[in-house]
Structure formats: C-alpha cells, structure tokens
C-alpha cells in the first residue's frame, strides 16, 4: 500500500511494507527565522567606531541574498559561454566571485540612493533594478536590451544607476558630482562610487577625494580590491596596498569582500556616516574574481589555477552563505536546489530572448542622445536622417 503525505516543504522517499511512501521531513515552520553570526573584524582608519562583529540575519534575508548572488553568478557564466560562441562581441568584463560586494552594499542602502561603477557592471545593473532579460539582451546588442542594444557590456544604465563607465577611474569624479547633487537637493540620499584596485592609482581619484572632503559630500568611495589589475598584482602596481587609507583625510574601512554580511555591516556604518553630514568615507572590499580581467585575458598567466581553486574552496561568497544557512537550520538543501533550478531557467529564458530579439534598426543609431528632447540640428542638418535599416 502506498501512502502519500504532502506538506508545505520538501519530502523524503522511504519504504513502508516494501512500497514507496512520500513523507515530509520538514515544514517551513521548522526553520530558524533568524540567527546571529560572528563575522570578521574590519580594519578602520580615522573612525571612532567599527562595524559590528556579531550580526543578525533573518531567513528571508538569507534566501534573498542567495538567490541574487546565484542569479549574478549564473548570468556571468552564461555571458562567458556566449562570448566564446561569438554571440557577445567587443569588451566583456565578468564579476563572478565578487557577488557579495554588490549584494552586501545593496542590503544597506536604498534604491533611491545612487550608484556608479566601472565596466564590471552586469551585477550592479541587476541589483539596481534591471532584469536578467534586459541585461543579456544588451550584451548581445539587441533592441530589448537595457540600453536598447547600443551600450553593450560596458555601458548599462537604469534608474539611479549611472553605468558601467569605460574610462578607468572616470566614474569616481562623476560619482562625486552625483553626491553633490544629493547634497544640493537635500533629499538625504548618497552616492556609492565603485572602482577597482587598478583604477585606485588614477590621479582623478585623489582630486575627487579632496573635493568631496572639502564639501562634505555624501559619497561612499569603494575600492573593489580583487588583487589584480589588468594582469598585474596589486603588490607590483601600488607602493601602498592599504587602499582604505588612501583618502588620507577621509576615514576608511577595510572589509572582507567575500562575506556578504561583512560588506552589509560595513556599508551600513558608511551610509550612516554620510547621512549624518560627516562627509565622504572610503571602503576597501577585499574580494576576488574567478575570470581574467576581460575575455581576452585567460587569467592564469599571472596567477595559478591552484590559487583560484583555493579561493573557490575556502572563500566563495555563495558557498559561505549556503553553509551558514544550512548549519543554522535556516534552509534545506532541497530548498536551495529549487532556487538554483529557478535561476537557471530564468537565465536560459533570458538567453533565448537575447539571441532571438531583433537588433536595433539603423535609423535608431543616433537617437537617444538627449533625454526627453529630440536631437538638435548639427550645422543645419540631421546627418542620421538618411540612415535606413536594410536588415
């Protein structure tokens, strides 16, 4: 005789009198709704307080962080595949390994706050409100892309997100300009300006520190230190690798960027600092990227495969969060696998759209230059008016 028991959550298959029976092992009510975790202490510079080392995470928060990081990871792996198939062309810089940075930052600021980054931007486009479908279609240069197929990997934008910027370090002074607007308009908003360890040596960044400190701008400057610039380790490129102290007169934090909770708590303190009118703050997130600098960089000529695998094994942000949730009875293996399946399906559906959606027509080439107004005449003519798409 077969007996079936259906509950809210997953089920285990057992044998009763030689027949298979489906019996619930756990219900949702069995899970811990929140737990306290001990996290790594941050290094601080010119700060009287430090982020908490004992933090609380709820089950709902953990599931949300897990889903978001898995979506970002799978999206980048799919981008890698499409690039190698020559479906994505041009430049492409992947973010896999660094997901805890984006998710931890977003967990401590508002969507009405502002964010600007460099060209490793697919993940932030997603956390800022873009959809997987829009991001994948932009990567393949299709009309349904988030920038209508005309920006590609390096130039994605959405509300309160100012891109993907291709010029190394140029997004930092732009971010200070956004922070100036926040202060001028008096909306208690802030701007997060992200850059890498390679860009940290750019002169314009130090000029921006100076202005931001003078004007007490609500700016969080974040150096995502993934240990390598374009094929060069930080030790070979910088006389001082204490990036969190580079502001000199700006307080700083050095954070474990592979732990979403560490990033969340540090960003929370940084945001409070900015909103209280104390001016800018500098954060260094110590993170790691699994792919090379770009798709033209195999990423193993200046570091070993063993190093990459060691980071994957010991510090992977998704695995770390998963282990915490399972060991504290905040989720089941089956529940997390179900999320994985849903994420994979979302990525595959988005990929289908990104490979079948039409390319933007040629007559759109010079449109969308101005916001909410038609293109102005250039020397008395519209040079793009003669362009007609033949595809």
Catalytic residues: 289, 293, 302
Residues 110 and 322: beta-carbon distance below 8 Å? no
Please give the angle made by the CA atoms of 40, 46 and 49, to the nearest 5 degrees.
Answer: 50
- List of residues 6+ apart from 61 with CB closer than 8 A: 107
Euclidean distance between CA atoms 118 and 162, whole angstroms: 10
Residues 164 and 153: beta-carbon distance below 8 Å? yes
- In this structure, how many other beta carbons lie within 10 angstroms of the beta carbon of residue 231? 16
Residues 168 and 122: beta-carbon distance below 8 Å? no
Half-sphere exposure of 225 (CA within 13 A, CB side): 25
Q: Tokens standing for 354? A: 């990104």
DSSP 143-168: TTSTTTTSS-TT---BTTB-----ST
């Amino acid at each position: 005789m077969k007996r079936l028991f259906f509950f809210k959550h997953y089920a285990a298959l057992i044998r009763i009198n030689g027949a298979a029976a489906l019996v619930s092992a756990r219900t949702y009510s069995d899970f811990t709704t929140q737990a306290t975790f001990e996290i790594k202490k941050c290094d601080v510079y010119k700060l009287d307080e430090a982020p908490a080392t004992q933090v609380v995470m709820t089950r709902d928060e953990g599931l949300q962080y897990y889903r978001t990081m898995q979506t970002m990871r799978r999206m980048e792996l799919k981008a890698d595949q499409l690039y190698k198939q020559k479906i994505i062309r041009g430049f492409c810089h992947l973010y896999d390994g660094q997901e805890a940075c984006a998710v931890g930052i977003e967990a401590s600021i508002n969507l009405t706050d502002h964010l600007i980054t460099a060209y490793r931007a697919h993940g932030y486009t997603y956390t800022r409100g873009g959809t997987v479908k829009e991001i994948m279609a932009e990567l393949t240069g299709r009309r349904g892309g988030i920038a209508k197929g005309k920006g590609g990997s390096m130039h994605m934008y959405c509300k309160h997100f100012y891109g993907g910027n291709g010029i190394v370090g140029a997004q930092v002074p732009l971010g200070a300009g956004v922070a100036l607007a926040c202060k001028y308009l008096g909306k208690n908003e802030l701007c997060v300006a992200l850059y890498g360890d390679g860009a940290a040596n750019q002169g314009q960044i130090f000029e921006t520190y100076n202005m931001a400190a003078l004007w007490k701008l609500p700016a969080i400057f974040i150096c995502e230190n993934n240990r390598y610039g374009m094929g060069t380790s930080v030790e070979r490129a910088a006389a001082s690798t204490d990036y969190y102290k580079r502001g000199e007169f700006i307080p700083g934090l050095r954070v474990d960027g592979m732990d979403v909770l560490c990033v969340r708590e540090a960003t929370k303190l940084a945001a409070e600092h900015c909103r209280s009118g104390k001016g800018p703050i500098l954060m260094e997130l110590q993170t790691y990227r699994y792919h090379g600098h770009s798709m033209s960089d195999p990423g193993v000529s200046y570091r070993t495969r063993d190093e990459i695998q060691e980071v994957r094994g010991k510090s992977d942000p998704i695995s770390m969060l998963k282990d915490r949730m399972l060991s504290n009875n905040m989720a089941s293996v089956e529940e997390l696998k179900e999320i994985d399946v849903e994420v994979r399906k979302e990525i595959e559906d988005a990929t289908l759209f990104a490979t079948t959606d039409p390319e933007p027509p040629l007559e759109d080439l010079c449109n969308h230059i101005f916001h909410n107004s038609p293109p102005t005449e250039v020397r008395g003519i519209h040079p793009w008016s003669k362009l007609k798409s033949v595809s």
